[in-house]
């Protein structure tokens, strides 16, 4: 694997302004992504996991610049995406595509499938009109759909088939990076494995790099070489998938692993130690953001924010006591 990252985020932050009060006189900020540093290498899958509302989807949308970052940098192939506009940004986006969580909501219900798949090619003026139409049908074959699907509308397909169409559209421009935003969470369990195996086959065939966003750490472990764990907008742990799953360092990651159901009814059940709810991202706790729920919390956790440090080879955690 290359030692030069395909994508890097440097202190990437995204916050949203909020006004409260009858006349909107109180101005607050909701910090959804808080100083996230990531490196994604060519050909690998980096998983991003965490509870709902932790900021993982916002992270993906900010990397794609569907949200504008509040501060920090997004470096793709050494180029700062944050500084690009107009034609330069559109050209860079050919190399980065996204697969969305809700396949039906991401597809235009008024367009036939061949029009949906041809649209990225039309926008970027790739090839001839006849060549674009042929490419749309080739993409259907790649994701395992029959050629007659080209003339049908999205509502005529099942959820799994709709996601295959979404994947085909993401592949249309032959990108290097795919951001998969919970691509199987809206699908039946019986279909999830098919889509996951399809993504793995496509990665090998087209040498793709994935950022795989999910709330299921077991699914993420199956898909990813490395896993990053997010809590309240912060990246609290990142390391090799096998190590994260078998030897988690951060108390939050340990709780996520303990919450995964085990298929063996005789297996020992580890008591979940977390209490309370995730604090509001508008009124963030001082010190470590996890300390109100952490069983290991001490006075230093309430006053000092932990530094992300390498505790084992390639395994980093932001915890005073990891």
Spell 96-125 as b/e; 16+ CB within 10 A means b: bbbbbbebbebbeeeebbbbbbbbbbeeee
**Which strand ranges, in their side-by-side order, compose the sheet holding 96-99?**
96-99, 177-181, 209-214, 45-49, 226-231, 234-240, 315-317, 309-312
Structural domains of the chain sorted by starting position, each given as residue range(s) with its CATH number in brackets: 7-95+175-269 (3.40.50.300), 112-168 (no CATH)
Report, as an integer, the average pLDDT of 171-176. 96
User: In sequence order, what are the residues at sequence separation of 6 or more whose Cβ sits closer than 8 angstroms to the Cβ of residue 250?
Assistant: 229, 236, 237, 290, 317, 318, 319, 322
User: In sequence order, what are the residues at sequence separation of 6 or more whose Cβ sits closer than 8 angstroms to the Cβ of residue 47?
Assistant: 212, 213, 214, 220, 221, 223, 224, 226, 227, 228, 241
Confidence of residue 189 (pLDDT cuts 50, 70, 90): confident
Distance CA 288, CA 136 (A): 49
**Tokens 């009858």, located at residue:** 22
- Confirm whether pTM is higher than 0.85: yes
Report, as an integer, the average pLDDT of 46-56. 93
Judged against a pLDDT cut of 90, whether residue 278 lies above it is answered with: no
pLDDT of residue 267: 63
Task: Return the closest-CA partner of residue 308 out of 292, 293, 289, 295.
Answer: 289
Handedness of CA 85, 87, 89, 90 (dihedral sign): positive
Task: Return the closest-CA partner of residue 28 out of 304, 291, 284, 292.
Answer: 284
The answer to whether residues 62 and 91 touch, using CB atoms and an 8 Å cutoff, is no
Angle between helix 129-142 and 113-123 (nearest 10): 120
- Give the model confidence (pLDDT) of 231-258 as tens digits: 999 999 999 999 999 999 999 999 999 8
- Give the model confidence (pLDDT) of 54-85 as tens digits: 999 999 999 999 999 999 999 999 999 988 99
pLDDT of residue 211: 97
Q: Mean pLDDT score of the chain, rounded to an integer? A: 91
- Give the model confidence (pLDDT) of 100-110 as tens digits: 999 899 999 99
Phi, psi of 193 (to 5 degrees): -60, -35
Token pair for residue 306?
A: 């932990």
Report, as an integer, the average pLDDT of 281-290. 90
Distance CA 245, CA 228 (A): 11
Report, as an integer, the average pLDDT of 267-271. 60
Name the percent of the chain lying above pLDDT 90: 74
Token pair for residue 321?
A: 């006591």
């Amino acid at each position: 694997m290359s030692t030069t990252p395909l994508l890097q985020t440097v202190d990437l932050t995204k916050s949203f302004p909020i006004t409260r009060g009858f006349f909107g006189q109180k101005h607050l900020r909701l910090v959804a992504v808080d100083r996230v540093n990531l490196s994604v290498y060519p050909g690998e899958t980096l998983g991003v996991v965490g509870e709902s509302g932790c900021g993982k989807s916002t992270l993906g949308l900010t990397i794609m610049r569907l949200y504008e970052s509040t501060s920090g940098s997004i470096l793709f192939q050494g180029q700062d995406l944050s500084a690009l506009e107009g034609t330069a940004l559109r050209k860079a986006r050919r190399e980065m595509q996204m697969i969305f969580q809700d396949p039906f909501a991401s597809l235009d219900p008024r367009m036939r499938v061949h029009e949906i798949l041809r649209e990225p090619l039309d926008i970027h003026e790739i090839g001839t009109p006849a060549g674009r139409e042929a490419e749309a049908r080739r993409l259907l074959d790649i994701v395992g759909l029959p050629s007659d699907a080209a003339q049908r509308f999205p509502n005529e397909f099942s959820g799994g088939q709709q996601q295959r169409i979404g994947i085909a559209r993401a592949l249309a421009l032959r990108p290097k990076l795919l951001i998969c935003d919970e691509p199987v969470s809206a699908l039946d369990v019986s279909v999830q494995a098919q889509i996951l195996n399809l993504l793995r086959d496509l990665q090998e065939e087209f040498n793709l790099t994935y950022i795989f966003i999910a709330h299921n750490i077991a699914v993420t472990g199956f898909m990813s070489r490395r896993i990053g764990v997010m809590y309240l907008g912060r990246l609290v742990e990142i390391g090799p998938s096998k190590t994260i799953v078998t030897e988690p360092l951060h108390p939050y990651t340990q709780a996520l692993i303990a919450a995964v159901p085990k298929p063996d009814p005789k297996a020992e059940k580890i008591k979940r130690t977390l209490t309370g709810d995730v604090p509001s991202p508008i009124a963030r706790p001082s010190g470590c953001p996890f300390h109100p729920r952490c069983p290991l919390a001490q006075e230093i956790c309430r006053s000092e924010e932990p530094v992300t440090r390498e505790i084992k080879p390639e395994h980093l955690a932001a915890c005073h006591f990891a």
